Amino acid sequence: MARVVQKFGGTSVADPEKIVRAAKKAAVRHAAGDQVVVVVSAMGKQTDLLVRLAKQITDAPSDREMDMLLSTGEQVSVSLFAMALQSMGHKAVSLTGGQIGIRTDS
């Protein structure tokens, strides 16, 4: 049994249909006996939208608040991805980097 990390970028999770398609790919790997960890980006152009919203508020948003804002795009994607897997009968849970112990100083 291999441990596999599958990364799906914004284009791959741009809408519900694409999320389901990507979830099926992860499910196939899991069915083959692999331990699968999925990493997803925000849907489509969601990050660009969030940056534009921040810039409408201030020209100089703090790094901390931008990090918080931009992470919401990934949180939406990862939740929908887990729901897609669950709807296929697979056990899945969405987690943020912080919830699994990832720390950064940048």
pLDDT tens digits for 88-103? 999 999 999 889 998 8
Angle at CA 77, nearest 5°, toward 73 and 79?
Answer: 115
Q: Write out pLDDT tens, residues 78-91.
A: 999 999 999 999 99
Q: Is the pLDDT of residue 55 over 80?
A: yes
What pTM was computed for the model? 0.92
**Looking at residue 3, what DSSP letter applies?**
E
Where do runs of H (alpha helix) occur along the chain? Answer: 16-31, 46-57, 63-87
Q: Is the pLDDT of residue 106 over 70?
A: no
Q: Bridge-partner residues for 37, per DSSP?
A: 5
Go through the domains of the chain in sequence order and give each one's CATH number: 3-93 (3.40.1160.10)
